[in-house]
Amino acid sequence: MKEIVEYTEDYKVAWSKYVADSNTSTIAHQIGWKEVMEEGLGHEPRYLLALEGEDIRGILPLAMVRTFWRSSYVVSLPWIDYGGICADDFETEKMLIDKACRIADGEKAQFLELRSIEKANHNLSIREDKATFLLRLDGDPEVVWKGFNAKLRNQIRKSEKSGLATEFGGIESLPDFYRIFAWKMHDLGTPVWGMKLFESILRHFPETAGIILVKRGEQAVAGGLLLSFKNRLYVPSAAAFRSALKFCPNHALYWEAIKKGCREDYEYFDFGRSALNSNTYRFKLQWVPEPTRLVWQYYLARLKDIPSINPSNPKYNLFINIWKRMPLKLANYLGPKVIRNFP
């Protein structure tokens, strides 16, 4: 008989083995994200396991997001693009969903959000306005290069002729990346995630997380967070200074990361999620003309409609304009305190 239990450290090894062996697990199912949720974001993890005897049949990582205006959400998982249920069968999926819904009700949460790749066959509301971009790699980067159109190849060549250099590093490269990333978020009018989040990721995934920097001379002008999981290399966050865009630093960043993926025998390069028809969506279309639509699923515990808690929502326009005008130092101080309320 199966039962749903909440995670304890006694299950750590078994959880990791289940994730490693599963064909449907994603980067978000790794147990290291539990610590990242707690340390880097200040959220309360509520990780669930479906057990049959001593064997794990399914898992569901959840995090409680509590806002300063006294609302709460249950999300799988905040910040990262993926999450949701990883299970052996339909019955296990349903048991995990039912338990997650009961947690949302018990916590008086507004909603439960599952950041799924594929739709689970359950009575949940669905949002499909985000996509990710998966580029198929090859052991020979030249094969990937030939798949790009002429315009994209010319932009990559321009970055190479502009004297840009790329380097890969670890936590020692975080200050350079974060300085660029924080400036970019302020330029967009979006509160920035704290450096503590990125420190936590790099610390809990020392073998599979790193930083890529693009430099012009001695100055870092672009940077990205680089993660890997199974057959996939992944850049969930990247940014460049506006003054350097004429040198195509983003093209240098992604092309060097792609070549790294080819050399190290990854099957896919994941550009990360974007909202449909956003600027980043159109940029990534140059690299991957056929994006993968994400299926985010919702249990609307206390809402009638699926929430739209993101900068593209017109109701946040005034806030965005005010945030852009805020002094950068103040925005960087307040940003992590504000953005943790928006998963």
State the pLDDT at residue 312: 61
State the pLDDT at residue 122: 73
Angstrom distances, CA of residue 296 to CA of 22, 82, 84, 113, 273: 21, 9, 9, 7, 12
CATH topology of domain 2-128+294-307: Aminopeptidase (3.40.630)
Contact by Cβ (8 Å): 96, 128: no
Within the chain, which residues score under 50 in pLDDT? none
Domain ranges of the chain: 2-128+294-307, 132-292
State the pLDDT at residue 309: 65
Contact by Cβ (8 Å): 110, 307: yes
Interacting residues of 126 by C-beta distance below 8 A, sequence separation 6+: 119, 295, 296, 297, 298
* 0.85 surpassed by pTM: yes
Terminal C-alpha separation, the chain: 35
State the pLDDT at residue 137: 98
Contact by Cβ (8 Å): 41, 34: no
Helices and strands, number each (H, E), in the chain: 12, 19
State the pLDDT at residue 310: 64
Q: What's the CATH number for 132-292?
A: 3.40.630.30
